[in-house]
Amino acid sequence: MEKKNCLILALDVTDRENALRIANEVSEYVDSIKVGYPLVLGEGLGIVKELAELAPVIADFKVADIPNTDRLICEHVFNAGADAIITHGFTGRDSLDSCVKVAEEYDRDVYVVTEMSHPGGVEFFRPVAETIAQMAADAGATGVVAPATRPERVRDIRKIIGDDLHIISPGVGAQGGSAADVINAGADWVIVGRSIYNSDSPADAAMRICNEMKC
Ligand code: XMP
């Protein structure tokens, strides 16, 4: 993904019409559009191809299965036109290796969840976040997902992965995180959903976040 605005739109609306309207309105401000279960379960995987005409698509399926099933999921997602996939790391190195291998075959990206952004994200992830981050680096993942709600954790994770891996960071706005703070802490991109797609003017909301980051 090319870094222009440091902003990724989390497009968690559930219908095609709204998704395409919002994506069109904000496309000049975002470097990528993240889609997940809400939109894909609502409209089917075909929505990925339509959105990919506007910006590279990250498929946030938080893949967490045995290596063979992970492989099948990644193949489907990349064949559908996604540029990247988000996978969990707690399933172990062999599962992650499977995703990375498919991504290499397709020349696509893999981002690994470290510690999640919501309050419960510390309950089980906190003790293993650094280990997962190190595994992501060792496995050759493109980057990791780390919480904008806890910039200090982004700083910790950046120390572990070094400068080669990217950090994409959800939790800005609706979850209380600050875009500027998490970019200063070492994130490459912020991921923003509700603060943009629930706004009366998604384009203005996206522009404001870009201005705040001055990335
Ligand atoms: P909001 O509306 O809170 O949307 O701006 C955030 C988006 O990011 C997803 N999300 C996460 N994804 N690790 C992830 O891989 C996380 O820690 C995490 N926290 C939030 C969320 O599903 C939504 O699409």
Give yes or no for residue 147 CB within 6 A of ligand 1.
yes
Give yes or no for residue 168 CB within 6 A of ligand 1.
no
Which residues touch 96 (CB under 8 Å, ≥6 apart)?
A: 87, 89, 110, 112, 135, 136, 139, 141
Which residues touch 98 (CB under 8 Å, ≥6 apart)?
A: 67, 68, 70, 71, 74
Given the residues 3, 62, 159, 214, select the one marked as catalytic.
62
The atom of ligand 1 lying closest to the CA of 117 is: 17
The atom of ligand 1 lying closest to the CA of 121 is: 17
State the distance from the centre of ligand 1 to the C-alpha of 147, rounded, in angstroms.
9
pLDDT averaged per 10 residues in sequence order, the chain, 215 residues? 95 98 98 98 98 98 98 98 98 98 98 98 96 98 98 98 97 96 98 98 98 91
3-state secondary structure of 63: strand
Q: Check if 62 is active-site.
A: yes
Please check whether residue 75 is in contact with residue 57, taking contact to mean a CB–CB distance below 8 angstroms.
no
Which residues touch 154 (CB under 8 Å, ≥6 apart)?
A: 146, 147, 148, 167, 169, 182, 185, 186, 187
pTM of the predicted structure, to 2 decimals: 0.97
Nearest alpha carbon, ligand 1 atom 19: 117
At residue 194, the pLDDT reads 98
Q: Which residue has the tokens 């703070």?
A: 181
- ipTM tops the 0.95 cut: yes
At residue 145, the pLDDT reads 98
At residue 183, the pLDDT reads 98
Give yes or no for residue 1 CB within 6 A of ligand 1.
no
The atom of ligand 1 lying closest to the CA of 60 is: 15
Mean pLDDT, rounded, of the chain: 97
At residue 214, the pLDDT reads 84
- Binding site, annotated residues: 12, 34, 60-69, 117, 170-180, 193-194
157, two tokens:
């994770």
State the distance from the centre of ligand 1 to the C-alpha of 103, rounded, in angstroms.
22
Give yes or no for residue 122 CB within 6 A of ligand 1.
no
Give yes or no for residue 36 CB within 6 A of ligand 1.
yes
At residue 53, the pLDDT reads 97
Name the phi and psi angles at 28, rounded to 5.
-75, -15
Which of the 8 DSSP states describes residue 45? T
